[in-house]
Amino acid sequence: MPLAGFHRGGKLYRYYVGQAALKGEISDAAIRRVSAAAIEATVVDQLRALLKSPEVVMATWRASKSEGTNLLEATVRESLERLDPLWDDVSRRASPHRAAVGPEDRPQA
């Protein structure tokens, strides 16, 4: 889905366009476009959850051990959790109006 956007009334509206819409193959059930803020918020939320998952924590810890470090598993987990402020910054930069996006704006699974 390519990113597109337009300005109206001094505000930038960003959205992702579905391939079917780009090709002109639209059906009544097809999703034409989705708010960029909604997709980006969902991606950041999923990345946050993934980096906190026990599987990723253990894989990271094992990888660090294979590099010869003596990090504790708790240290790796805490380090991954300290990335949260970074994700907040990424979200703000990617979508400055993210705070206005509510759960109703997120794509449904």
Judged against a pLDDT cut of 80, whether residue 15 lies above it is answered with: yes
Query: Is 57 part of any domain?
Result: yes
Query: Is 62 part of any domain?
Result: yes
Q: Tokens in use for 101?
A: 């996006």
Judged against a pLDDT cut of 50, whether residue 37 lies above it is answered with: yes
Judged against a pLDDT cut of 90, whether residue 87 lies above it is answered with: no
Mean pLDDT across the chain:
78
- In this prediction, residue 2 carries a pLDDT of 75
Query: Is 104 part of any domain?
Result: no
Judged against a pLDDT cut of 80, whether residue 78 lies above it is answered with: yes
Tell me the residue range of the domain where 38 lies: 3-96
Judged against a pLDDT cut of 80, whether residue 46 lies above it is answered with: yes
- The CA distance from 72 to 75, in Å, is 5
Query: For the chain, percent helix, then strand, then coil, each to nearest 5?
Result: 55, 15, 30
- What is the number of structural domains in the chain? 1
